[in-house]
Amino acid sequence: MSAQGITLALAAALMLPAATARAQSDTLFPPETAGCYVGAEVTPATGEPYRKPAVPVTAIRLQRSYPQLALEEQDTRPADGGRLINLRVIATFADAGKGGGPKRYSNGLYHFLRCSADVCDAGNYRVERQANDTVLLRMTGGLNLGGGPQGADASRRLPDGHVYRLVASPMDACR
């Protein structure tokens, strides 16, 4: 092997751990890291069951900030070594604020998702990592959201089969 070949091989060997470390940081919702995804509904491919929502979603946010990370710290790690995360799903509908109704709806505080490197699954919905810092929020059963002050009992549902494409965004975008 030439000197140039040896140099290249050595460089590749040195770069491998760095590349692995980068791949690990590319994990969907990495530990102790705040994150925000913002997006909207997408129509699934033809042939899949889909019913047009009564009131369309105009914006959807996935927030993982201090409240969610603090909850994750309290939760015990599953025996099988899996990873659990907490997410706030915040939806704005086309009729936001109309008639004194809520501006935003969100899921409950204490729901956890079990994660692999590319998918986090809550059982009734999942977040799937895509290329270019995007994720798909896919309803696999549907998700109930609540809104407004306590006692208002306002609720909406993201129905089974509906899919939302969201882009990784600065934390400001989840406000």
Q: Which residues bind another protein (CB under 8 A)?
A: 32, 34, 59, 61, 63, 65-67, 69-70, 73, 88, 90, 92, 96-97, 102-106, 108-110, 147-152, 171-172, 174-175
- The phi-psi region of residue 61 (left if phi > 0; otherwise alpha if psi is between -120 and 50; otherwise beta) is beta
Structure tokens at 126: 């999942």
Min. distance of Cβ 97 from another protein in angstroms?
7
Residue 6 or 21 having the CB closest to another protein: 21
Cα distances (angstroms) measured from residue 151 to each of 109, 154, 155: 17, 8, 11
Check the CA dihedral 158-163-165-168 and report its sign.
positive
The answer to whether residues 135 and 27 touch, using CB atoms and an 8 Å cutoff, is: no
The answer to whether residues 94 and 104 touch, using CB atoms and an 8 Å cutoff, is: no
Residue 104 or 165 having the CB closest to another protein: 104
Min. distance of Cβ 127 from another protein in angstroms?
17
Residue 48 or 172 having the CB closest to another protein: 172
Min. distance of Cβ 72 from another protein in angstroms?
9
Min. distance of Cβ 4 from another protein in angstroms?
43
Residue 84 or 119 having the CB closest to another protein: 84
